[in-house]
């Protein structure tokens, strides 16, 4: 039964995330277009900002519609977890709804319909508030996720319920900032290539060529910068958190079944053989994983054989393939 719960929740959350991952990055690019208009007085930048805010609004609406079933599934699919930890994760989820969502949606309406009434500077400010709201929303959701990955600032009552005894610890969680920045960089990658693709379509179809050039140029610049940031430093920091706080998870996702003396290789391709506890048909580069993890070629990384099987991930191949497909 738990497998079906996971599959259902995975589908719900994956489908939902298609929309906010575009809107979060797009909100920054909209602010950029409006800022360029204020600085250069070139009207095309203002048209670009308003055009992309309409796309933002459609995705924002879909994000709301698909996000509601996801939150209900915390109770339907993970009822016991929600009952025991609701006093903690309920706070950040409620803050996301009360502060970020309403901030974002209120100023979204002002940006879409209030340009003439507000004037260009206040219109820019409304776009900036949409950006702040969308990124704050992501921050509070990642704060929830980070607590689930590395619980801090809590105590367990006699009835088994988790309660928060240090509110500050929730937002000083060492898991939070690397995950958040990594996530936002990924969001910018999505929006950058989306904007560039629309620009490329305009250029290839000989329509709106001036906007096509603008979208391709802006998308490529944002895309290159965010593609670097998502790997280093944010991806590197997030991976090091897994090594430090979840070493058994790191061993599984890298396919390390046995601790290797003298440094660990990084596996590019391979298939986990769970029966014989090894990787089949692997293509690997010696010692690179040790260097990336500890900046030493000979650093030792613990394999799954170092940990009791009771704490091994329940689906090592799924974790291994999921991580390598993502990284690839």
**pLDDT, tens only, 216-261:** 999 999 999 999 999 999 999 999 999 999 999 999 999 999 998 8
Q: Spell out the per-residue pLDDT of the chain, length 328, in tens.
A: 788 888 999 999 999 999 999 999 999 999 999 999 999 999 999 999 999 999 999 999 999 999 999 889 988 999 999 999 999 999 999 999 888 989 999 999 999 999 999 999 999 999 999 999 999 999 999 999 999 999 999 999 999 999 999 999 999 999 999 999 999 999 999 999 999 999 999 999 999 999 999 999 999 999 999 999 999 999 999 999 999 999 999 999 999 999 988 999 999 999 999 999 999 999 999 999 999 999 999 999 999 999 999 999 999 999 999 999 988 8
Contact assessment for residue 259 and residue 306, using Cβ atoms and an 8 Å cutoff:
yes
Biggest CA–CA distance in the chain, Å, is 70
- Say how far apart CA 221 and CA 215 lie, in whole Å: 10
Contact assessment for residue 20 and residue 137, using Cβ atoms and an 8 Å cutoff:
yes
Residues linked to residue 163 through DSSP beta bridges, in sequence order = 155
CA distances from 91 to 180, 213, 284 (A): 18, 45, 44
Residues linked to residue 283 through DSSP beta bridges, in sequence order = 269
The distance from CA 275 to its chain's CA centroid, rounded to whole angstroms, is: 34
């Amino acid at each position: 039964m738990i497998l079906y719960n996971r599959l259902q929740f995975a589908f719900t959350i994956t489908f939902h995330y298609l929309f906010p991952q575009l809107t979060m990055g797009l909100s920054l690019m909209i602010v950029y277009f409006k800022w360029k208009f204020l600085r250069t007085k070139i009207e095309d930048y203002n048209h670009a900002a308003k055009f992309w805010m309409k796309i933002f609004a459609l995705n924002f609406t879909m994000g709301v519609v698909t996000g509601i079933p996801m939150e209900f599934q915390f109770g339907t699919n993970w009822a016991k977890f929600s009952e025991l930890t609701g006093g903690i994760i309920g706070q950040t989820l409620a803050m996301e709804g009360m502060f970020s969502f309403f901030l974002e949606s209120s100023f979204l309406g002002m940006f879409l319909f209030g340009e003439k009434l507000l004037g260009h500077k206040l219109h820019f400010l409304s776009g900036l508030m949409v950006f702040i709201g969308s990124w704050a929303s992501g921050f509070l959701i990642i704060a929830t996720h980070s607590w689930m990955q590395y619980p801090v600032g809590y105590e367990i009552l006699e009835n088994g319920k988790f309660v928060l005894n240090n509110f500050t610890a929730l937002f000083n969680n060492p898991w939070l900032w690397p995950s958040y920045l990594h996530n936002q960089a990924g969001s910018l990658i999505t929006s950058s290539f989306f904007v560039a693709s629309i620009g490329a379509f305009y250029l290839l179809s000989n329509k709106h060529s001036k906007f096509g050039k603008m979208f391709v140029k802006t998308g490529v610049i944002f895309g290159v910068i965010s593609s670097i940031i998502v790997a280093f430093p944010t991806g590197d920091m997030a991976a090091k958190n897994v090594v430090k706080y979840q070493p058994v998870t790191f061993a599984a996702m890298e396919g390390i079944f046995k601790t290797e003396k003298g440094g660990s290789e990084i596996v590019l391709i391979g298939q986990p053989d769970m029966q014989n506890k090894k990787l089949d048909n692997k293509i690997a580069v010696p010692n690179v994983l040790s260097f990336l993890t500890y900046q030493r070629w000979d650093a030792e990384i613990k394999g799954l054989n170092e940990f009791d099987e009771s704490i091994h991930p329940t689906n090592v191949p799924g974790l291994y393939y999921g991580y390598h497909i993502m990284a690839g």
